[in-house]
Structure 1
């Protein structure tokens, strides 16, 4: 059980960390997604900060399990809101979203099941 918890949490942390960096440095992909959603580019930095905090919180969860659970729960909420934004913009390409959302849900489930 610990191996699954470790692997999924590390994978979720790394992927969200990369997404955070992409948002923070102003990479083209997050900008194009903001354009599709009708969001101003100024929202990319706060989204990057939220993703970075989620990634760091997942890692902190190895030392303080409640922080990991809270971070994973926050990421689940973040991606549910993102799903709503995609639906509102009538963008039905959910491949990337599904990967990030699934990792956040799996990290939350494994944290809760491993730590009881």
Structure 2
């Protein structure tokens, strides 16, 4: 189970790290997507920090299981919030958020079972 967690954690951390970097640097496409959902610009640094912390926590979770579980749960909740934001804005292009959220749930379950 640990190898499965490691694979999901690394891929998810790469996705989160890339997204955090693009959010921190105010990538036009990404920031435009947040604006369409009604996310205030003032939230962008906090959201980027949450993604970066999730990525770091998943990687630290390779060594410290409780950190990995906590990070995976936090990432799953982040993407649950993303799905809610999309639905509230009547933007039903939620597949990426759902897939990443489910990957985070899988990471949490795999890390719990690999202890």
TM-score band w.r.t. shorter chain: over 0.9
8 Å Cα contact 1:16-1:100 kept in structure 2: no
Query: Which residue matches 2:67?
Result: 67
Distance 2:29 2:46 in 1: 16
Query: Which residue matches 2:28?
Result: 28
How much does 1:29 deviate?
2.4
Distance 1:29 1:106 in 2: 29
DSSP-derived class of the 1:5 partner: helix
Query: Which residue matches 2:87?
Result: 87
Q: Which runs of 4+ in 1 moved over 2 A?
A: none
Unaligned 5+ runs, structure 1:
none
Query: Which residue matches 1:108?
Result: 108
Distance 1:30 1:72 in 2: 23
DSSP-derived class of the 2:114 partner: helix
8 Å Cα contact 2:83-2:98 kept in structure 1: no
Distance 1:100 1:32 in 2: 20
DSSP-derived class of the 2:50 partner: helix
Distance 2:81 2:97 in 1: 11
How much does 1:16 deviate?
0.8
Unaligned 5+ runs, structure 2:
none
- Given the two structures, how large is their TM-score scaled by the length of structure 1? 0.92
- Given the two structures, how large is their TM-score scaled by the length of structure 2? 0.93
Aligned length, in residue pairs? 115
Distance 1:97 1:35 in 2: 16
1:31-70 deviations in whole A, cap 9, x for unaligned?
A: 1121111122221111000000000000111121000000
Query: Which residue matches 1:4?
Result: 4
